[in-house]
Amino acid sequence: MFQIVGIVLLFVLVFGSYIISGGNMGVILHALPHELMAIGGAGVASFLIANSMPVIKATASGLGKVFSGPKWKASDYRDLLSLLFLLTKTMKSKGVIALESHIENPTESSIFTRFPKIMKDHFAIDFICDTLRMMTMNLEDPHQVEDAMEKQLDKHHHEALAPSHALQSLADALPALGIVAAVLGVIKTMGAITEPPEILGQMIGSALVGTFLGVFLAYGLVGPMATRLKEIVEEEGAFYRIIQSVLVAHLHGNAAQISVEIGRGSVPSGAQPSFLELEEALSNIPNEA
């Protein structure tokens, strides 16, 4: 919502100040299609050249996140802590054998299927199951499991940041592409040097629209979108860090309740449940779960 408000303010204030100061929008509107074709087309082409197809697809879907925000809400963090509580409690009270059926086939698990939104995140489910599987094989060395979790999280985070890096690279290129378009306009103007001053002035103004458009798109739209997307990826990455915190706490022998309380401390402040809210969520889990 704030992103849409920001875009509206950007256009209103920039072009409003230009009009109020006596600027002629006709010059900009006349040059806009050609300059946008040169700058936008070159920007898209360079983006395609610089990035792989997975990054291109992830960037396209990431643009939706710029406006919708992180996918994890406060209720999802409570669900995650509840899921981890059930898993660690089962492992603590019933042993490794009781947990195997859940981590080997989570789609049919009575524990995992209680949390359908988390089930849709394949990395979260795989991360939980793979870690628990390692714990069942190597319980005597918690540091080795913890190190493997850290490497897996670093790899996932690096890949998740690729779209924001791609957008930032595009933002960095747009001012230069604007200069390219402006230089082409100057070349066109120099080829018509015999024209009267009013014609030459309009041609030079049209050429300068290219420089303006490149800088405007870079610092007004694409750059801020890249920053926002990076911020969202960082916040969503906290969701997986909670998994690490809880399972590491469990590895070091803490009770299930203590482990999820340690994990609660890693929840982003805006979505963090209070101690009483988490306790209520855990107490509402049916006994048969």
Average of per-residue pLDDT across 246-262? 89
State the pLDDT at residue 278: 86
State the pLDDT at residue 50: 93
Q: Residues 78, 114: contact at Cβ < 8 Å?
A: no
State the pLDDT at residue 26: 82
Please tell me the distance from the alpha carbon of residue 221 to that of residue 162, in angstroms, as a whole number: 18
Q: Which three-class secondary structure string do you get for 121-159?
A: CHHHHHHHHHHHHHHHHCCCCHHHHHHHHHHHHHHHHHH
Average of per-residue pLDDT across 10-29? 87
Bigger pLDDT: 84 or 289? Answer: 84
Residue 116: which of 126, 104, 106 has the closest Cα? 106
pLDDT digits (tens, 9 = 90+) for 78-132: 999 999 999 988 888 777 777 888 888 888 888 898 999 999 999 999 999 988 8
Please tell me the distance from the alpha carbon of residue 35 to that of residue 108, in angstroms, as a whole number: 56
Please tell me the distance from the alpha carbon of residue 128 to that of residue 103, in angstroms, as a whole number: 8
Token pair 């660690």 in the structure block, residue: 88
Q: Over pLDDT 70: what percentage of the chain?
A: 97
pLDDT digits (tens, 9 = 90+) for 197-224: 777 777 777 778 888 999 999 999 999 9
